[in-house]
Each structure stands twice: as structure tokens, then as C-alpha cells.
A and B are shown apart, each in its own frame.
Chain A
Amino acid sequence: MSVITRNGSTGALTDDALPRKKTALDAVLNFIRRQPLGTAGLVIMIVMFLTAAFANVLAPFDPEENDFQAMMEAPSWTHLLGTDQMGRDIFSRLVYGARTALLVGFSAAFAGGLIGLVLGVASAYFGGWFDLVFQRILDVLMAFPLIILALAVVSVFGTGVFNVILAITIPLIPRCGRVVRASALAVREVPYVDAARALGFGHTRIVLRHMVPNVVGPFLILLSAFVGQAILAEASLSYLGLGGQEPVPAWGLMLQGGAEEYATTAPWIAIFPGLAIVMAVLGISLFGDALRDAIDPKLRDR
């Protein structure tokens, strides 16, 4: 067997002549080259993860320990980002606060996303009255802005980290369900779903094994957006006094605790937690956008 090479000569088919198979490293390098902003976002996320994972190593002080000898100290070599009104080291609180942000952000995003995914696909699959009723429920839930619905949930269930996760999860479910349903409607019409039905598979198997995997692309993009939204919602709830409570290190709570009161006399109390929230949400958003561009075939080669 012979093949015609690019220069028109013929020869044996060898490995050298075949296009080189792309490795994971190639994919990563390609992503970095094509998505510099997304890469920056990824770096921020990785730093955030590492910070959260190694908080006990990175933090020079106990984030919850009051030190009345060091109240509202400006940034220095001892306290890199200064101290707050209770004398607590702001850097240490930010480092531990990353744990709270990631815990709430990822838990709420995954829980809300997965429930929304299953319900959205099921809604598309079953159609009829189930789809009609389910979509109207989603309409009602989506009529409320995320933070308003989260506030309502917290006011019912109370404050605390777990309740905040629950409060953010509930508003995310319809947002995911609606988008996933749109993708799943197209998947429902493809022959392999009919084939699965003809083979007598149950609804659960068809939905979970044949439809859900085929809407994972848009779902992953949504998920990345949800993480950012959840972190922002957690910070907002904490800022309003409805999230985690003192002395838990949480970025929104750090803004709420004394930042307003000392904004002019000790601005570092407000600036650094605010920056942490901005960087985290920005990083996740940039990465999410880049991921969408990378996955979407229509945008991939632009």
C-alpha cells in the first residue's frame, strides 16, 4: 500500500507521515495560546485552590484569634495585609476565607447544577404536562433574582454555612434546568434515544445514561459560571449578615464586620477582602468564558 505525500511522491505509510496524535499537553498549550485570558483565570483558580488547601501552612496567624495589642494595624512585615478591628491578621483570614468561598461556591454550583441537569433533561425527555408544569415552576423561580431568592431561603432556614449553600443551590436549579432542557430537546430527537426506547430501557436509564452525557458540554460551561455566581452570592449574604457568622473567616463577612465603619481610618480592612472577591469571581468568569469558547465548535477556530 502506498500513499501520496504532500510533495506528490509516493511511499510506504509510516508513522512519520501521519498527523501527530494530540497529547493532553498539546491541548493545554493550545488552550494557553488561544485563550490567554482564560489561562489567567485558570491560574487564579489554581492559586485559590492551593491557598485553600494549604491554608494552615500559608496563614501566619490563627484567623480567629483576637489580638487587642494589634488592633487595626496597617500592613507591615508582621501583618502583610494589616489587622482588623479585633486585631486579627487579615492575610490569614483571607487565606482561610478561600476555603469558605470554594466550599460554598463549588458545593452550591455542583448541587444546583446536577439537580438542574437531571430535572432539565427529564423535562425535555418526558415532555407533555410534566414539561409544561415543570417549566412554569422554573418560570416562577427564575422571576426572582438569585440573591433575592437566596435571601428568602436563608430567612426561612437561618444563617450558617450549610444553609447558605442550600440558599444558593435552590436558585441555581432553575437556571441550569432551563438551559439544559433546551439542549436535551435536540438530543431527544436523535435515533439512539428511540433505539434505547425500542430496546425497552427504562426512563431512568435513558435519561441518565443516554441523554445526560450528551448535554454535558453546555452543562460544564454553566457550572463554571455558577461557581462564580455562588461565590459572589455567598459574599453578598455574608455581607448582609446572613451567611457565615463571626469569627468564621469569610470574605463577605470581613467586609461586613468593620470595613464600613473603618473605611476611612483603616481602609485595608475593606480593600483586601474586596480584592479577593473580585479576583476570584473574575478568574472563574474568565476561565468559564474560555472553556465555552474552547468547547463550542462554532467558536473553537475563531
Chain B
Amino acid sequence: MVVRKGLWVAGLGLAAVIAAGPGNAQTPKKGGTLTFMIPADSPPSFDGHRETTFATVHATAPFYSVLIRVPPDNPASTTEFVCDLCTEMPKPTDDGKTYTFKIRQDVKWHDGSKLTAKDVAASWNRIVFPPQGVTSARVTYYAMVDKIEAPDDSTVVFKLKRPTTAFLPALADPFTYIYKKEILDKDQKWYEKNIMGSGPFKFASYEIGQSIKGVRNPDYYHKGQPYLDAIEGIFADKQSVRVEAIRGDRAAMEFRGMPPSARDQLVKEAGKDVVVQDSDWNCGNIVSYNHKKKPFDDVRVRRALSLAVDHWGGAPALSKIAIVRTPGGIVFPGSPLAANKEELQQIAGFWPDIEKSRAEARRLLKEAGQENLKFELTNRNVDQPYKFVGTWLIGEWKKIGVTVEQKVVPTGPWFAAMRGGTFDVVVDANCQSVVNPVLDTAKYLPKKVYPESYGDYDDPKSIELYNAMTQETDPAKQRVAMRAYEKHTLDTEAHSIVTPYWYRILVIRSYVKGWKISPSHYLNQDLANVWLDR
């Protein structure tokens, strides 16, 4: 018993040492500039409420505050949330329907004025109830919100229509920047082209397609932070450019993810000068059909294209060259709500016998009179993994006699094509931040309820199945409901194809300390806790 107790104590001690880690044991040093690569040509706009791309959040998150967030020192947690602008995490009242946040009183905007609860409420009202002409990408996340009020300068109250566990994870979304009410009152679109926040860094300069720079905010409210004097994000959509930059120490890291080959190359050449952090990734590409264009309004054609794709054969091969790894349905694999392999194999494109699947695809195309189908696949001008996935899909479709031309466009026109419906079929992405499957799967709803759903279809049944799933509180029943929604989306109506989920690999210069990887490349991007050990 004594021995057992001794082992227990020793184990606890060891655990504490491991948990502390060598990085945490060090005292952060102040100063220096963190130069990092942003794997895009440029952000479509600076407005986090409007955009869904990392190009925006990597470039602008350091300039803004949010209400709550994932813990910067433990961003991999899917259940823990901490205050940024609030003083403490509230306990829900009114049977779980009211959340009252007290707002810090020591927060200043970068122009020197004081941030109040009115700014927080105005920003959240813009996100949840966007005014006419304003696009908010996450409206559906907050369908449970009834009202947002600021009764005084230090209090923000969220009133919900119904209690739900999905609310707090949704509130921690990293795109929910707090904007200045005075500016919003004058021009709701000011933040699309301008930056003025209250985050750890003040905006310094931006050169389109080149770089964005920030300098330390001396008035930052989390005392002692940020540690860095400045940050510089360099835009480079070509992977080789980014790898070269890290290899030559022109940049310390990128925050999105690299393929295994780049990791191996950098580790081989830089040795101890770099460290690797990796993680499963709550992110994947989806193929969306323009339902307003023939023949993609025909479910037989969509199902045929789904059936042609060999996920089980493609994913392991692609994982050697691209940042993808795991076949999955509409839910992040590994989540309790995700489909297991047997369940996936019931869905078009995941059948265990690919030849049988392709024979069915050919039959459906013939039946639809589309045996010689030709179309254009719009894709984003980002190497990893968009172009790899696009090229793979084209090869898969060719096996059922479909001819596809790939049209690669920069990020801005890519979004414009999807939002404007000027595409045949598009390689879209469903990248979520906080792992929150109930809300993450809203991407597959019709556009009228989820603006960032680009298939432009109307499908009341889909909404009905989704609502049934979200309102279910019993985990087992919710899982069954999720399967029904998934089957309807990917098989019965074949609205989309979910390509293999991504796997996040980062190679970081070893002098960069304080930053930790998470399952999302959107999270933990304000860089306040990053410091340089050199």
C-alpha cells in the first residue's frame, strides 16, 4: 500500500512536470518581431463577421478582442472556454436561457477611447442579426439567440430562445471580433477595408498581396502581454515559398498546415532549429454543385459524381502528398457524433466496392442523359490541399467518363464565384473553429438559412432533419438524428461531396515559444502569448 501510494505521488509529480513542459517552465522574454507566413494571396476583406477564411483571421486576429475564447494555453480543449473581454464566465440563468457577461472596464480601443459593453452588444447584434446589406457568415450558429442587450456600460446580456449546450462554443468563435459601435453606426462596412480594434497589436500597415504588420499595443488589458514588439504576416500562396522562408529563417512559421513532405524536408535540413506540432483538423474540402445550373439540379447526376469518388483508396495516397488524411462524413471524425466506418459505407462514395459504385454512377448518368458530361470545376488558388484535391477528383470523375476542366482562381474571385453562383461545381471548404458538430454541420443547410452554403438549393427536408438533430438532447438519439441528416445530405440528395478531412502539421522555428496547436487553424491567433527565445 505504501509502495502503491509512493508510485501514485511519483506519478503525479511526473505528470506535473510533463504538464508544465520545458516551454512553460521558461519565463517569457519580451521583444522581437514574429514574422509568419500567411498561405494566401490576400484576404477577401478584413471583416471577420463576413469572412470565413484563415486569410482574414491570420491577418487580423491580433488586432481584435473577442468576448470569450478557447484557453490560449490549452487551445486543443473542446470544452473549456475563458474570458477575453468579460471578467468571468457566466452561469446561465432563467433555465439556461440567459447569459449575463460583465465586461472589463480597463479596455481601450487603439484610438485611445474606452471600450464598453455597448460596443460588445453592437458587434454581436451585427453578427447575429446583420442589418440589411451586411453579410454575417455565422448567422445560423446563433439561431438560438433571441436578443442581445447592453443594459449598462459594463453588462451584456444574451437571451436565448431555448437552452442549448451549443451556445458557449459558438460564442467562442474566433471571427467574432468586437468592433467600435461609433464606427458601425456611421458605416456598417467600414471594417471590410479598415482595421481598428482593441487587441494585443495595433495595425501598422498592409500591402495588398505582400504583408500586414502590427506593433505592440502598450495599453493591452491582459497585463504583461503581448510579449512581442511587432508582428508581420507575409502573404504567399505558394507552399515552396513558405517552406523556403522557414528554412532560411525569413519567417518563423505559418499557422495553417504543411504536407508531410514539407515537414520531412524542413526537419531533415533544419534539425533542432525547428519543432513540429501536429493535430487532427476540424477542416475539410467539400464539393458543392450549383443547383441552379443544369444538369446539377438533377439528383442522379450529383449522386453519380459522388459514387465515382474512391475515398477509401484516395485518402491514404493523398495523405502522403497533401494535408488530408481521414475519410469522413459531415461530422469531424473522432467526434462522438461522427459516423463510423460501417455507417459511412452506406453513403454514396463510401461504398466498400468502388467498381460497383462506379457502375452505378455510369448507370445514373446514362439514365439522366449525361453520359458525356463536361463541366468546369472552380477551385481556389491554394496549393494545399485545394489543388491536390481538385486534381484527384477530376481523375476520379474521368473514370466514369466525365470530363472536367479545372478553373483555379485567387481567394477573392473564388468567394465571389461561390457567393454569386457563377460556377458549375466548386471545391469549397468547411473549416470550423471550435469543435461543435451540432453547429458545424449547418454548412449543409440550404442557403436561405445558411448564407455560406453555396449549392443554392432549397430543401425543407434538410432543415427539418437538422432541426430535429439540434433539438435532441439525448446523445444516443442525437447521433441517430445526425445519421439521418447526413444520409439525406450526402446520399439521398447528394448535395455535396465531403473529401478526406485535413491533418494539421506545423513546422515552427524552435525559438518561437508560447503558442500551441489546436484542431483548428482559426483558433489561438491573437498571438498575445507568443514570445521569442533568442
Contact residues of A with B, CB < 8 Å?
64-66, 68, 71, 85-87, 158-160, 241, 245-247, 258, 260-262, 264-265
Interchain CA distance A102-B406 in the complex, whole Å: 21
The reply to whether A159 and B395 contact each other, CB–CB distance below 8 Å, is no
Q: Would you call B74 an interface residue if the criterion is a C-beta within 8 Å of the partner chain's C-beta atoms? A: no
Q: How far is the CB of A259 from chain B (nearest CB, A)?
A: 9
Q: Would you call B104 an interface residue if the criterion is a C-beta within 8 Å of the partner chain's C-beta atoms? A: no
On whether A264 and B408 interact (CB within 8 A), knowing A66-B392, A71-B321, A241-B381, the answer reads: no
In the assembled complex, 7 residue pairs joining A and B whose CB atoms fall closer than 8 Å, in A order, are: A64-B395, A65-B398, A71-B321, A85-B321, A246-B390, A247-B395, A261-B262
Q: Which residue in B261, B313, B406 is a CB contact (below 8 Å) of A265? A: B261
Q: How far is the CB of B238 from chain A (nearest CB, A)?
A: 8
Q: Which residues of B contact A247 (CB under 8 A)?
A: 391, 394-395, 406
- Look across to chain B and name the residue whose beta carbon is closest to the beta carbon of A245: B406
Please give me the 5 A-B residue pairs with the lowest Cβ-Cβ distance, nearest first: A68-B317, A260-B240, A66-B395, A246-B391, A245-B406
Contact with A along B388-403 (1 / 0, CB 8 A): 0011101100100000
On whether A71 and B317 interact (CB within 8 A), knowing A66-B395, A246-B391, the answer reads: yes
Interchain CA distance A158-B381 in the complex, whole Å: 12
Q: Which residue in B239, B265, B398 is a CB contact (below 8 Å) of A64? A: B398
Contact with A along B206-244 (1 / 0, CB 8 A): 000000000000000000000000000000001110010
- Look across to chain A and name the residue whose beta carbon is closest to the beta carbon of B376: A160
Q: Which residue in A66, A87, A159, A264 is a CB contact (below 8 Å) of B265? A: A264
Q: Which residues of A contact B20 (CB under 8 A)?
A: none
Q: How far is the CB of B204 from chain A (nearest CB, A)?
A: 28
Q: Which residues of B contact A158 (CB under 8 A)?
A: 407, 409
- Look across to chain B and name the residue whose beta carbon is closest to the beta carbon of A256: B238
Q: How far is the CB of A160 from chain B (nearest CB, A)?
A: 7
On whether A86 and B392 interact (CB within 8 A), knowing A65-B398, A262-B261, the answer reads: yes
On whether A245 and B395 interact (CB within 8 A), knowing A68-B314, A71-B317, the answer reads: no
- Look across to chain B and name the residue whose beta carbon is closest to the beta carbon of A259: B240
- Look across to chain B and name the residue whose beta carbon is closest to the beta carbon of A161: B405
The reply to whether A241 and B408 contact each other, CB–CB distance below 8 Å, is yes
Contact with A along B230-269 (1 / 0, CB 8 A): 0000000011100100000000000000010110010000
Q: How far is the CB of A84 from chain B (nearest CB, A)?
A: 10
Q: Which residues of B contact A71 (CB under 8 A)?
A: 317, 320-321
Q: Would you call B387 an interface residue if the criterion is a C-beta within 8 Å of the partner chain's C-beta atoms? A: yes
On whether A65 and B405 interact (CB within 8 A), knowing A71-B321, A241-B381, A262-B261, the answer reads: no
Q: Which residues of A contact B239 (CB under 8 A)?
A: 260-261
Contact with A along B312-342 (1 / 0, CB 8 A): 0110010011000000000000000000000
- Look across to chain A and name the residue whose beta carbon is closest to the beta carbon of B406: A245
The reply to whether B408 and A258 contact each other, CB–CB distance below 8 Å, is no
Q: Which residues of B contact A241 (CB under 8 A)?
A: 238, 381, 408
Interchain CA distance A68-B314 in the complex, whole Å: 8
Q: How far is the CB of A8 from chain B (nearest CB, A)?
A: 77
- Look across to chain A and name the residue whose beta carbon is closest to the beta carbon of B269: A264
Q: Which residues of B contact A264 (CB under 8 A)?
A: 265
- Look across to chain A and name the residue whose beta carbon is closest to the beta carbon of B239: A261
- Look across to chain A and name the residue whose beta carbon is closest to the beta carbon of B244: A260
Q: How far is the CB of B386 from chain A (nearest CB, A)?
A: 11
Q: Which residues of B contact A68 (CB under 8 A)?
A: 313-314, 317
Interchain CA distance A261-B242 in the complex, whole Å: 11
Among A65, A66, A158, which residue has the most Cβ atoms of chain B within 10 A?
A66
Q: How far is the CB of B385 from chain A (nearest CB, A)?
A: 12
Interchain CA distance A71-B322 in the complex, whole Å: 13
The reply to whether B391 and A86 contact each other, CB–CB distance below 8 Å, is yes
Q: How far is the CB of A168 from chain B (nearest CB, A)?
A: 19
- Look across to chain A and name the residue whose beta carbon is closest to the beta carbon of B377: A245
Interchain CA distance A85-B317 in the complex, whole Å: 10
Interchain CA distance A220-B171 in the complex, whole Å: 69
Interchain CA distance A68-B324 in the complex, whole Å: 15
Interchain CA distance A16-B409 in the complex, whole Å: 70
The reply to whether A86 and B395 contact each other, CB–CB distance below 8 Å, is yes
Q: Which residues of A contact B407 (CB under 8 A)?
A: 158-160, 245
Q: How far is the CB of A11 from chain B (nearest CB, A)?
A: 74
Interchain CA distance A196-B407 in the complex, whole Å: 52
Q: Which residues of A contact B409 (CB under 8 A)?
A: 158-159
Q: How far is the CB of B402 from chain A (nearest CB, A)?
A: 12
Interchain CA distance A128-B255 in the complex, whole Å: 61
Interchain CA distance A14-B224 in the complex, whole Å: 109
Interchain CA distance A284-B408 in the complex, whole Å: 31
On whether A261 and B395 interact (CB within 8 A), knowing A71-B317, A71-B320, A159-B407, the answer reads: no
- Look across to chain B and name the residue whose beta carbon is closest to the beta carbon of A65: B395
Interchain CA distance A159-B317 in the complex, whole Å: 28
Q: Which residues of A contact B238 (CB under 8 A)?
A: 241, 260
